[in-house]
Amino acid sequence: MKYELYYWPGIQGRGEYVRLALEDAGAEYTDIALLSEARGGGVSALRRYLEGDDVERPPFAPPFLKAGRQLIGQTANILLYLGGRLGLAPRDAAGRLWTHQLQLTIMDLVAEAHDTHHPIGSALYYEDQKAPAKRRAKDFRENRMPKFYGYFERVLERNRSGAPGMVGKRITYADLSMAQAIAGLRYAFPAASRKALRATPRLEALHDAVLDRPRIKRYLASKRRLDFNNDDIFRRYKALDG
């Protein structure tokens, strides 16, 4: 199966969680965001599926994955589909659901991180909501980030397999996504992240183990990996890091 991944050009965003799974598995895929409009990429390729009258089951927004005749939207939903096919999820139903549950929780964390710099509305500029952003970020740093990190630390502690991941003996797509979320939060909140990770050593070790996987290392060093930037989900504003 050759996959096509559709996401906005120029940012990692939620598409990066799918990219990491595809890269770690060595799957054959085309990242439409990296193609020019002339080669069938760019925003026009997205709009064809988002707005086309001939699309029977249109996605609400990117990312979405084209797998044969199937068009699958929502990050966690895409990874649920790919997990078993790429060897990044357990084979049993209970294990697959547990991995999916963890992924959904990670996406909650990512959404809350985004809302620190856009607490009122996504259509407004950060400069239009600085005061509420500062208040929201303070709560995120002091309460929400430690709560999420503490939860995932307990999950790692209760995985008795001896593996570095959260589910069983093998790294799953949830572990890849957790590492990406930590990397993003380190970019956006360097001081707060250092403090949170000091209290969650297993989580920090998971991040390091994922980034040390051979295919992930090659991907991170490649031109395919975009840098974090302030047009993305994770944004660095000094005022929001306390």
> For the residues 220-236, what does the mean pLDDT come to?
97
- 3-85: which CATH topology? Glutaredoxin (3.40.30)
**Residue range 74-94, pLDDT digits in tens:** 999 999 999 999 999 999 999
Measured distance CA(6)–CA(90) in Å, rounded: 26
User: Strands, DSSP E only, in 59-119?
Assistant: 64-67, 70-73
Q: Which backbone phi and psi does 237 adopt, to 5 degrees?
A: -125, 120
Paired strand residues for 30: 4
pLDDT score of 1 more than 90 = no
Measured distance CA(105)–CA(17) in Å, rounded: 13
Supply the pLDDT for residue 160.
86
Supply the pLDDT for residue 163.
83
Q: Which of 167, 6, 166 is nearest to 74 (CA)?
A: 6
**Residue range 46-71, pLDDT digits in tens:** 999 999 999 999 999 999 999 999 99
Measured distance CA(163)–CA(217) in Å, rounded: 19
Supply the pLDDT for residue 161.
84
Q: Tell me, rounded to whole angstroms, the distance of Cα 59 from its chain centroid.
A: 18
Supply the pLDDT for residue 162.
82
For residue 97, what are its two tokens? 């659901």
Measured distance CA(62)–CA(13) in Å, rounded: 9
Supply the pLDDT for residue 232.
97
Measured distance CA(8)–CA(232) in Å, rounded: 10
Asked whether 61 and 50 are in contact (CB, 8 A), the reply is yes
In the chain, domain spans? 3-85, 93-213
**Residue range 177-219, pLDDT digits in tens:** 999 999 999 999 999 999 999 999 999 999 999 999 999 999 9
Asked whether 165 and 178 are in contact (CB, 8 A), the reply is no
| 93-213 is classed CATH 3.30.1540.20 | no
